[in-house]
Amino acid sequence: MHPVSIASRSRLRSSVPYMAGLCLVLLLAACVQNPVTGKNDFLLVSEDWELQVGAQQYAPLRQQQGGDYITDTKVVNYVRSVGNKLAAASDRDLPYEFNVINDSTPNAWALPGGKISINRGLLVELNSEAELAAVLGHEIVHAAAKHGARGQSRSVGLQAGVVTATLLASNQGYNAQVAQMASAVGAQLINSQYGQGAELESDLFGMEYMSRAGYDPQGAVELQQTFVRLSQGGRSSTLERLFASHPPSQRRVDENRATAARLPKGGFTGEREYRSAMATLFNTREAYEAADQARVALQQGDTRKANSLVQTAMRIEPRESLFHSLAGDIAMSQNNLNAAKQSFTKAISLNGNYFYNYVQRGSINESQRNNDAARADYARSVSLLPTATAQLGLGKYAEGRGDTQVARRFYSMAAQADNTVGQQARQALVRVQPDSNSSSDNALMVTQGLTRNGNFAIQIVNQTSQKIGNIKLGVTVDNGRQQTLGVKQQLLPGEKRLIETGQKLTTSQANRVKVVVLGADVVRR
């Protein structure tokens, strides 16, 4: 019905000189058939870009939003089994993945490349496997039909450089840099609205996938009714983020009703199956509500109330790592560091894959001068999700052992934060700046990658505390002749700049480009 056909695009050979400004290559906007709708799209999004964005941003985004729900693995296994059935019925073969995020906001999202998440808070609003299939089918269409790429503004696209690990793969802190950059980009991707056209398209084809996978498409009608009901509900705190990327509407209810009428009647509903698979979530719902209220109370400075609520939450669901983490935050706010550390350790024992507990325990260890433990906690947290706090801490330890190059790298990453931690990092950068005679290679961190359009881009970070100008880069392809690229702009201390070359490349071509710093000057006034 909707054949998978991704028109092949002509690709540039690696012998073509890459740099814009040195040569102009006219790119014809390829007319590509959309794999889902079969319509022609004027999109210059490479599949490489989609896959890289999905693969690189999926994990940090889940971290940013509360980490995965793992307390009852039956929940995520069930979500995956339903998701995989729909993926198999979809129009596009992608490396689909499904996870449950430990957050009470009723939401779900898809990244390019088929990386899909559904929040715990949405699962407890659904009534049947068919409704879950409606959510996942809808998200699968967003990914398969490239809605994420289509919805992006040009400015977002510029930032969405996917950095490939060719130049600095062996350097400490590099992956952290990628993840930090990637998660900011990913947040923009999943929080931007796709537009009503894309929503209706996702509903329509999602219902088609449901029907193909044997589900009753009526589930999508009921789901939309639930969405409309939720959006009219009085829960103002979650309303803002509620379906940020998928605004519900009566029109969607009506359209889904019409679509269901066109599709074969009947199919699997799975109400009993759903109740059984989600039993833990339904049974512990009050615990999460108490914990959410405890978080609010803590923010308002009412630690007594926060403490009593989190105790309630832990009584109902003692296995939930987040509750112990919250207890740790409450203890920290009371300056009870030993109790806080115990809570974070307990939280880590229940879920060892959430960055936050490591950052918090790391900062306690740092203040208690348990340096090795602090460093290990910070390093683990940065591998999950880079934060300025952990990077500043790691920078200090590197500086302490005399490794100024690594220290500079961590400081310059932390320096990008717009808060007191960033300020401390900028001050620290002054201490570890290279003397003016040394090679400018150390002063600039250069990475390379593809933007959403598959254009080759180079990113430079000024790792010094001084303004840098007159930057000259050398670009070599497959050990061929080196071309020189002058960067017009000056870079402020800690500043990061993405230079788009306008050259369209595949990932493997991009990986064969070598970029080095030929020279740069400190700008003195």
Chain positions contacting Zn ion, by CB under 5 A: 199, 202, 246
Nearest-CB residue for Zn ion: 246
Question: Which CB, 104 or 202, lies closer to Zn ion?
Answer: 202
Q: Are 441 and 517 in contact (CB under 8 A)?
A: yes
Q: Minimal distance in Å, beta carbon 109 to Zn ion?
A: 8
Question: Which CB, 92 or 426, lies closer to Zn ion?
Answer: 92
Q: Minimal distance in Å, beta carbon 151 to Zn ion?
A: 10
Round to whole Å and give the CA distance between 64 and 239.
19
Question: Which CB, 202 or 503, lies closer to Zn ion?
Answer: 202
Question: Which CB, 197 or 264, lies closer to Zn ion?
Answer: 197
Question: Which CB, 121 or 173, lies closer to Zn ion?
Answer: 121
3-state secondary structure labels for all residues of 141-199: HHHHCCHHHHHCCHHHHHHCCEEECCCCCCCCCHHHHHHHHHHHHHHHHHHCCCCHHHH
Phi, psi of 478, deg, nearest 5: 50, 45
Round to whole Å and give the CA distance between 492 and 226.
50
Round to whole Å and give the CA distance between 28 and 253.
40
Question: Which CB, 142 or 346, lies closer to Zn ion?
Answer: 142
Round to whole Å and give the CA distance between 489 and 153.
23
| 315: Cα within 13 Å, side-chain hemisphere | 8
Q: Minimal distance in Å, beta carbon 238 to Zn ion?
A: 17
Question: Which CB, 62 or 246, lies closer to Zn ion?
Answer: 246
| 471: Cα within 13 Å, side-chain hemisphere | 28
Q: Are 415 and 385 in contact (CB under 8 A)?
A: no
3-state secondary structure labels for all residues of 360-378: HHHHHHHHCCCHHHHHHHH
Round to whole Å and give the CA distance between 226 and 168.
48
Q: Minimal distance in Å, beta carbon 79 to Zn ion?
A: 17
Round to whole Å and give the CA distance between 336 and 367.
12
What percent of the residues of the chain are helix, what percent strand, and what percent coil, each to the nearest 5?
50, 15, 35
Question: Which CB, 202 or 321, lies closer to Zn ion?
Answer: 202
Q: Minimal distance in Å, beta carbon 212 to Zn ion?
A: 19
**Whole-Å CA distances, 266 to 18, 82, 133, 195, 492:** 56, 18, 15, 31, 63
Q: Minimal distance in Å, beta carbon 211 to Zn ion?
A: 19
Question: Which CB, 259 or 463, lies closer to Zn ion?
Answer: 259
Q: Minimal distance in Å, beta carbon 104 to Zn ion?
A: 20
**Whole-Å CA distances, 275 to 75, 101, 128, 255, 451:** 11, 19, 7, 28, 43
Q: Which residues have CB under 8 Å from 188's CB, separation 6+?
A: 152, 156, 159, 160
Q: Minimal distance in Å, beta carbon 67 to Zn ion?
A: 23
Q: Minimal distance in Å, beta carbon 193 to Zn ion?
A: 9
